Structure 1
Amino acid sequence: MSTPVWITATPPATHGELHVGHLAGPYVAADVLARFLRAEGEPVRFTTGTADHASSVHVRALRAGRKPEEVAEGYRAAITSDWLRSGVEFDHIVRPRQDKGYRGRLTDLFRQLYADGVIAARTRLTPYCEPCGRWLHGAHVTGTCPHCAAACEGGMCHECARPNDGGDLLDPRCALCDSPAVPRRCRRLYVPLEPYREALAEYWAGTGLPPRLAALCESLVEDGLPDIAVSHPAEWGLSVPVDGFPEHRIDGCFEAAAMHLFGHGDRPLPERAVHFCGFGHAFCHAVLLPVLLFAQGLKLPQHFCVNEAYVMEDEVPGRGSGRKAWALDLITEYGSDTLRRHVLQARPLGRRTAFHADRLAAARRELDEGWNDWLARLFAAVREECAGRAPEALPGGSGWEVLERRLLRGLEDLREAYSPDAFDPRRAVALLDEMVRSAADFGHVNAHEAHRPTTAGRHLPVLAAQLAVARALGAWARPVMPEGADRLAAALKARPGGPVSAAALVPPAPGTRLAPPSGPVFGF
């Protein structure tokens, strides 16, 4: 049996709840791919984790006067609940502070890399806050990116995705007291990337990187690959297991990359991995994770699905607005079907996009006036004409042959949009909507068959044809809207899920008593 396709999504930092931008980025899209491949019979390993030791967790705790472990655990529980409610189903969510063996595995890897010379000590200027008496790293320090001039934190710029060493930030300031940071010499541990120049260039050339990520990687090579700090003098995080650095903690980017390896477990590396991440987090996936593998003599064919930022309408790039559309609130108001299809339609691919509440409301109207209206009329007709049972007839009706051909052509495009090589969930939503509109038009055109006095039963093939389309949608739409698709399958007494294939385009067995829900099938 082949090794599973490994799908990862960026571990979110547990300093706050999930907002709609998180769902529009890696999580729902990665779940769509995982569901499609599983339905096809492909073995899948879908993993993520929570970045409980991120510096932003410590900053949040200091501002709130709480312990960082309390902040991390509270938001970790909220995040995993939001994933569940939005239909994102992972095979494993790494919990850094709970998973047995995690701390030991990660510190053993760090210790081994240090012994092998992959990690080395360097003394560099590092920001320090004199009023707070604290070294500044990660979210503890804010400033201007030396590469793109965007506002950013220490360690990584989420606008251009290039790393910084903290000390090279322009106008660095303490995130807590806003005092100007003072540069001081500090001895830390680094991963020098320059020794991996040829290995990385060869790896990137064979990976098929998205254009913006390719431009980033080529620029890093052109400018000279940097040394990446993997330890900081800090109070929060995993202790560095190397003598001489007693008050240092392992860097969050290093931990995020190593977390993926822990999440995959002791299984043989897969034949293929697909990483979903925001562009601002791409460095950890496309640079640091491969280096950790190279250092262990491993290579992993990988594919990257990179999204840009999905922001509020009035949010300033790089600075935020303080106003968020929280995932929990939107799921509660609109349901997972509506929210999932909306964030897939609005997914920020190749450019920054903004959340508009009216577009989310429009997604709900599309489900109500398109999908649910057609299904309600279909179930009502079966109830009135066939006593609620699937008719004793083969699919037919005026234009059925044309509709069937169109559906099967659309199915080919749908499978392509779901596939890893041409993954495009926005197109998948558009194709599904067109299929529903075509089926609804077919139903309207043939509605008068029931009233023709010359030939009895001419309307029954029309009902069978629409039930066949409905049954197909229970499988074809499931990667996008699993909650409604399973509700539809239950109404038709069909097994939930199944491959996205032509085999699903058949009506329920004649005489099957249907069980339509009392409310809408998709959304609510």
Structure 2
Amino acid sequence: MAPDRTGATTVVLSPPPTPNGPLHLGHLAGPYVAADLAVRAARRRGERVVALCGLDDHQNYVPAAARRQNLPVEELRTRNADLIREVFHRADVVHDGFTEPLTDGAYRAAVVEFLEELVLSGALPVEQWQTPVCPDCPGILHHAYVTGRCPGCGEGSGGGTCEGCAGYTPAAALLDPVCTRCGTPATAIRTVRGPVLRLEDHRAALEAAWLRATLPPQARRLAARLLQGPLPTVPFSYPTDWGIELGSIPGHRIDVWAEMGLGYLYSIGQLVEPGATGLAGHLAAWQQVESVWAFLGLDNAFYYLALFPALYAAAGLSAQALGGLVVNEFYLLDGAKFSTSRSHAVWAHEFLATEDPRAVRAFLSWDRPAPLQADFTLEHYRAVTASWQRATPTSAPDPAELARAEAALTLERYDAALAARCLLGAGLQSGGDARADDLLAVLTGDAKAAPQ
């Protein structure tokens, strides 16, 4: 049913997963189960909230994976998209909006329309910039097509943001960039002309938003590092082989993160005002949005902390709409990071096919990698969930523990692990207490969180 428009809306975002592979337990333990808990808890409190996710179809990690597996790119994308949707269904992770750019013509048209209108207005100026490129491969080195070392922390990084420190690391910033398609060092330099977003032009708006928003220490440290020098200028299109074509510049496609920011303008506008048309109509619909909260891994923080708020300021929205970020660290598997590309993972669709989804949600909340990394082992999972099965429900749950759980499930104080520990003293049964039943249902997914 359509949302009630009598009051302001809170939007909860979880980053669209990239269909270069299936979801693994690290993904679920990071943003996806956590965001679902927050939405269910907010609706339990009577708040107006909408949840938005989707698929990150236009990351060039998708064609890169298809090349490695010698598959047509759309075949690989469709297979993984089906598995991703299956996991969300099995885990009872519910969204009000789920965007699929590759199959949604209206979304793609809106993204192009909004970008071209912002170019014409001067909000996204067209400029020249230089970048290292592969002397042997076509197009621009970006995201999955380049690897090097982060200039901030020295760790290995792709062309986007560093997984280690969350710094912005386009090919031009990387130390010793190498083309991942052929392994050749990126020694050539190319001049590119296209639309850009100058974050420095929106420094004041970003500073005001960051002062107001609820940000974890990792995000505040990133903000402080960004403010130490000129804020970066981010290209909004590349000459490349994957993504939404930008007709006004032949050969260019819209950068996937620029697409995502513009896509949120469209998708959120449609959620709060179905049928909104044009950039002006979607910006008007956003006046119903009180705050936007994003659940994400640290490696995506630059975009949700800086790029998207700066884009919205450039479009004429208040950057104050940023309510906050809920950031997780990496979930480890037997001491090493979960990795789709290296197949070091427990695949969520396989795990949920044999395990109780209620116990999986509860355990991944209890073991959530925030504020520090956590390490999943099957032995640990078995021992902990078996202890819940053996627990004897009490007839009178501790009201103080229930109050702590309720507070831990608010957006401003979000701590899924604390909430789980407060609620699971008697396992997955509450003993008949209505308040405890409600909170356990939020945790395990039994409570209905139907789209509003």
TM-score above 0.5, yes or no:
yes
Amino acid at match of 1:228: V
TM, length-normalised to structure 2: 0.88
Q: Does the 8 Å contact 2:388/2:426 carry over to 1? A: no
Match 1:138 to one of 135, 138, 143 = 143
Identify the residue that residue 409 of structure 2 maps to in structure 1.
418
1:203 is aligned to 2:209: yes
1:78-227 aligned at under 5 Å gives the runs: 78-189=83-194, 190-227=196-233
Following superposition of structure 1 onto structure 2, how do residues 503-518 of structure 1 map, counting pairs within 5 Å?
none
- Pair 1:61–1:332, CA change in 2 (3 A): same
Report how far residue 235 of structure 1 moved: 1.0
Q: Does 1:476 align with 2:435?
A: no
SS at match of 1:306: strand
Aligned equivalents of 1:236, 1:119: Cα separation in 2? 21
CA contact under 8 A between 2:107 and 2:266: conserved in structure 1? yes
Deviation of 1:93 after TM superposition, in Å, equals: 0.6
Corresponding position: 1:331 with 2:352: yes
Cα distance, 1:114 vs. partner? 1.1
Indicate yes or no: 2:278 matched with 1:257.
Answer: no
Could you tell me how far 1:437 is from its partner in structure 2?
9.9
Aligned to 1:434: 425
Partner residue in 1 for 2:3: none
158-167 or 226-235: which moved more?
A: 158-167
Change (3 A) 1:37 1:87: same
Alpha-carbon distance, 1:230 to partner: 1.6
Task: Report the 3-state secondary structure (helix = DSSP H, G, I; strand = E; otherwise coil) of the residue aligned with 1:155.
Answer: strand
Q: Once the two structures are superposed, what CA deviation does each residue of 1:98-146 show, in whole Å capped at 9, x if it has no partner?
A: 2351011101111122112232334333232233344321101111111
C-alpha separation in 1, matches of 2:170 and 2:293: 29
Once residues 473 and 358 of structure 1 are traced to their aligned partners in structure 2, the CA distance between those partners, rounded to angstroms, is 28
For residues 19 and 350 of structure 2, the distance between their equivalents in structure 1, rounded to whole angstroms, comes to: 18
> Bigger shift: 319-328 or 303-312?
319-328
Deviation at 1:64, TM superposition (A): 2.6
Task: Specify the SS of the correspondent of 1:184.
Answer: strand
Corresponding residue for residue 328 of structure 2: 307
Instruction: Work out whether residues 233 and 248 of structure 1, in 8 Å CA contact, stay in contact via their aligned partners in 2.
Output: yes
Which residue of 1 is the match for residue 370 of structure 2? 349
CA distance in 2, matches of 1:258, 1:68: 24
- Structure 2 counterpart of 1:39, which letter? R
The higher-RCO structure (CA 8 Å, 6+ apart) is 2
1:277 match: 296
Shift of 1:150: 1.0
Closer, same or farther: CA 231–438 of 1 in aligned 2, 3 Å? closer
Greater alpha carbon shift after TM alignment, 128-137 vs 306-315 = 128-137
2: CA distance, partners of 1:25 / 1:338: 16
**Quick one: which amino acid aligns to residue 439 of structure 2?**
W
Distance 1:22 1:437, change over 3 A: closer
TM-score by length of 1: 0.76
Cα offset, 1:412, TM superposition:
1.6
> SS at the partner of 1:347?
coil
Can you list the C-alpha shifts for 1:382-437, whole angstroms capped at 9, x where unaligned? Answer: xxxxxxxxxxxxxxxxxx9xx74x63222222211122222211111111122559
Match of 1:445 in 2: none
Q: Is the 8 A contact 2:43 2:449 kept in 1?
A: no
How far, CA to CA, are the matches of 2:140 and 2:265 in structure 1? 29
Task: Report the alpha carbon displacement of residue 47 of structure 1 after superposing the two structures with TM.
Answer: 0.5
Give me the CA root mean square deviation. Answer: 2.4
- Correspondence for 2:23: 18
Higher mean alpha-carbon deviation, 206-215 vs 261-270, is at 261-270
Q: Distance in 2 between matches of 1:324 and 1:127?
A: 33
Q: Does 1:41 align with 2:60?
A: no
Q: 1:271 to 1:411 in 2, by over 3 A?
A: same
Task: Check whether the contact 2:178–2:184 (CA below 8 A) recurs between aligned residues.
Answer: yes
Q: What secondary structure does 1:272 align onto?
A: strand
Contact 1:127–1:167 (Cα < 8 Å) also in 2: yes
For the structure 1 residues 318 and 287, does the alpha-carbon distance in structure 2 shift closer, same or farther, using more than 3 Å as the test?
farther
Deviation at 1:321, TM superposition (A): 5.2
CA, structure 1 residues 437+277, in 2 after alignment: closer, same or farther (shift >3 Å)? closer
Q: 1:497 to 1:185 in 2, by over 3 A?
A: closer
Return the match for 1:293 from 312, 328, 333.
Answer: 312
Q: Give 1:160 deviation, angstroms.
A: 1.4
Unmatched segments (≥5 aa) in structure 2? 1-5, 273-284
Distance 1:497 1:20, change over 3 A: closer
User: For the structure 1 residues 159 and 318, does the alpha-carbon distance in structure 2 shift closer, same or farther, using more than 3 Å as the test?
Assistant: farther
Give the number of the structure whose residues are more often strand, by fraction: 2
Paired position in structure 2 for 1:30 = 35
In percent, how many aligned pairs have the same letter? 28
- Cα distance in 1 for partners of 2:426, 2:68 equals 51
The residue type equivalent to 1:231 in the other structure is S
1:177 Cα deviation after fit: 2.1
CA drift of 1:180 comes to: 1.6
Cα 1:277–1:37, aligned 2, differ >3 Å: closer, same or farther?
A: same
Say which of 245, 251, 256 aligns to 1:247.
251
SS of equivalent residue, structure 1 residue 191 = strand
**Residues 368 and 42 of structure 1: is their aligned pair in 2 closer, same or farther, counting only changes over 3 Å?**
same
Q: CA separation in 2, counterparts of 1:128 and 1:67?
A: 25
**Paired residue secondary structure (1:173):** strand
SS at match of 1:420: coil
Structure 1, 103-112 or 157-166: larger mean CA deviation: 157-166
Q: 1:421-455 CA distances to partner (integer Å, 9 max, x unpaired)? A: 2221111111112255997xxxxxxxxxxxxxxxx
Question: How has the CA–CA distance of structure 1 residues 24 and 113 changed in structure 2, closer, same or farther, with 3 Å as cutoff?
Answer: same
Alignment partners' CA distance in 1, 2:91 and 2:197: 38
- The letter for the 1-side match of 2:331 is Y
1:56 aligns with 2:61: yes
Question: Which aligned pairs between 1:430-469 and structure 2 lie closer than 5 A?
Answer: 430-435=421-426, 466=431, 468-469=432-433
What do the CA deviations read for 1:356-399 (whole angstroms, capped 9, x no partner)? 222211232123212xxx36xxxxxxxxxxxxxxxxxxxxxxxx
- 1:363 counterpart = 2:384: yes
Q: How many pairs does the alignment contain?
A: 427
